[in-house]
Amino acid sequence: MTNNNDNSNLKMPSLFLAHGSPMMAIEDSAYTSFLKSLGESLKPKAIVIFSAHFENEITTVSVHDNTYDTIYDFYGFPKEMYQCKYLAKGSSFIGNYVCDRLEENGLNVQKENKRGLDHGSWVLLMKLFPQANVPVVQVSVNPRGDAKLHYEIGKSLRGLGDQGVLVIGSGVTVHNLRTLRWGQDKAEPWAVAFDEFLVENIQSNRLDNLLNWESLAPNARMAVPTPEHFLPLFVALGASASDDISHTKIINRHYEAGTASYLSFNFN
């Protein structure tokens, strides 16, 4: 991939970021401050983001140069939420390159040029890069696919960071809305145990354990009743710079409402 961007010599990491509540868009918190600082430390030429709220059984890539619409894929929030706009542009060049890399690795891909940015993308990005001046390529996750498939999707994009492209998996590790304990600051032990399984196996470079999380992780079904929020973790994991993931950095870890995890990783 040729590149004339001034940021071409800046290597970008592969990140898994918890996207939390859409309310982050209009609220200030320790986590939004973290995202602001993180964004200020990064100077990507483009962003490729896999959002938990973009689901398709065929990996779908947004390929265009237009300004994205802002999708309000949530209900019952304050009216100012529906006034937020994140007017980032796409990148047909990067989008086509992503498609080529996926297809070269034997993965089924389709392109689209109509869909806006869902809240799994724009809420995070408006805190990371509030000026919306970095081109964005949004990519789907497959809710029927397993961890290994999404790891391979990420692995096929390995090396994008060397070319100044930031890869983000946007999701949540522990995501069970039925278990939330509103107003509770202390994390529930079962949620912490699930996250600890992830941390320990990442830091011990035990990829097989991670890929078999459904049978090995404690409280797996309670933490991940549906997979769409969890799968972006494996995309970001696969897109890391090498097969050795033991040097992964935990860049944020806290819980809200007892069980909502904000565990986030830098895999490079």
Instruction: Write the DSSP string, 78-120.
Output: -GGGGG-----B--HHHHHHHHHHHHHTT--EEEESS--B-HH
Judged by phi (left if over 0) then psi (alpha if -120 to 50, else beta), residue 257 lies in left
Predicted TM-score (pTM) of the model is 0.95
96-105: burial string, b at 16+ Cβ within 10 Å, e else: ebbbebbeee
C-alpha distance from residue 193 to each of 59, 149, 158, 198 (Å) = 31, 25, 30, 9
Q: Once rounded to an integer, what is the mean pLDDT over residues 38-46?
A: 97
Could you state, in order of their start, the residue ranges of all structural domains in the chain?
A: 14-266
For 15-26, how does the pLDDT look when each residue is reduced to its tens digit (9 = 90+)?
999 998 899 999
pLDDT band, residue 58 (cuts 50/70/90) = very high
pLDDT digits (tens, 9 = 90+) for 214-255: 999 999 999 999 999 999 999 999 999 888 999 999 999 999
Locus of tokens 């600082």: 37
What pLDDT is attached to residue 8? Answer: 47
For 218, other C-beta atoms within 10 Å of its C-beta total 13
- Residue from 210, 205, 191 nearest 253 by CA: 191
Fold classification of 14-266 is Protocatechuate 4,5-dioxygenase; Chain B (3.40.830)
pLDDT in tens, 174-200: 998 878 888 888 999 999 999 999 999
* pLDDT at 145 exceeding the cut of 70: yes
CA-CA distance, 125 to 25, in Å (whole number)? 10
**3-state DSSP call for residue 226?**
coil
Q: Tell me the pLDDT band of 60, cut-offs 50, 70 and 90.
A: very high
Provide the 8-state DSSP code for 22.
Answer: G
